[in-house]
Amino acid sequence: MKLPMHQVDAFTDDVFRGNPAAVVLLDTWLPDAVLQAIALENNLSETAYIVPAQDGEADFELRWFTPAVEVELCGHATLATAHVLFEQAANRHELRFSTRSGLLGVTRHGEVYTLDFPARSTERYDDLDWLRRGLGIEPVEAHASTRDVLAVFASVADVRAVTPDFRILAEAPARGIIATAPGTDGVDFVSRFFAPAFGVDEDPVTGSAHCVSTPFWSARLDKRELEARQLSARGGALRCTYLPELERVHIAGRAVSYLSGEITVP
């Protein structure tokens, strides 16, 4: 069986930058074992799969797989999926996806795509010892959501200086660890993201992590619209807006296609 697949670099203007995601277009769902095997074969931080929705509320059902597991929410692969679909239907400007995290929307304004995602609140987190050992440098403070731990540093240089021990971080009591700090030169905050327990040591650009970091920095900086940068080797740019009255975060970025073709599965 041959299936159409696209690879898109998300949260960037340039190929070889941002976060690459695979997008596989399906008519009906394949067995989960096959979906996981394709994701492992792709060996990207995420492979997204879509099928046409049947409920009338959404346009497509959307799922995301790392090389190791299915995840509940993924930003860059959602952006990549929207990019593929918008490229195929130039007159469309909005998409709705049914997912494990509820109904997610994506709108297009020119070459910019905006994700409508849930906001994640945090509480103070005091166990800094394993963060120090896992990140190689002790954060100034830490906060935890239901999914991720936010390790706050004093400067951009500190975030760049993080030297993760992935064996320690793989045992973290969270999906992933966000290392973050105030930004400079027009950037409000920066981050790096680690999720070795989910098969992704360091994710190049992580839209879903900004569901946590955007509300935090919005409160800390007293502003709703924020410019964010992820400081991975590939790098990525995101524009984030916190909507506390709706408990939502809008995450905007660009994307560029890298390849389109077919894969063959049994």
Q: Give the pLDDT mean for 171-188.
A: 94
Average pLDDT of the residues in 109-128: 96
Q: How confident is the model at residue 124 (pLDDT cuts 50, 70, 90)?
A: very high
pTM over 0.85: yes
Closest CA relative to residue 60, chosen from 28, 19, 107, 108: 28
| More confident of the two residues 147 and 215 | 215
Q: Give the pLDDT confidence score for residue 220 in this predicted structure.
A: 97
The answer to whether residue 104 scores a pLDDT higher than 90 is: yes
The set of residues, in sequence order, having a beta carbon less than 8 Å from that of 157 and lying 6+ positions away, is: none
Give the mean model confidence (pLDDT) for residues 83-94. Answer: 93
Q: Tens digits of per-residue pLDDT, 199-229? A: 999 999 999 999 999 999 999 999 999 999 9
pLDDT in tens, 23-56: 999 999 999 999 999 999 999 999 999 999 988 8
Q: Mind listing the domains of the chain with CATH numbers?
A: 2-118+252-264 (3.10.310.10), 123-224 (3.10.310.10)
For residue 237, list its beta bridge partners. 229
Query: Which of the residues 41, 46, 72, 138 is marked catalytic?
Result: 46
Tell me what pLDDT residue 2 has.
Answer: 97
pLDDT at 174 over 90: no
Structure tokens at 107: 């709108």
* Cβ neighbours, 10 Å, residue 245: 6
212's tokens: 């946590």
pLDDT at 231 exceeding the cut of 90: yes
CA distance 226 to 228: 6
What pLDDT was estimated at residue 175? 87
CA atoms within 13 A on the CB side of 231: 21
- Average pLDDT on 80-101 reads 95
Position 172 scores a pLDDT of 87
Q: What is the mean pLDDT of residues 73-78?
A: 97
Question: At residue 78, does pLDDT exceed 90?
Answer: yes
Q: Which amino acid is at 213?
A: S
Q: What does the mean pLDDT of the chain come to?
A: 96
3-class state of residue 156 by DSSP: helix
Tell me the residue ranges of DSSP E strands in the chain: 2-10, 19-25, 46-52, 60-65, 70-71, 94-99, 102-109, 112-118, 123-124, 141-144, 148-152, 176-182, 189-195, 200-203, 225-230, 236-243, 248-253, 255-264
Check if 46 is active-site: yes
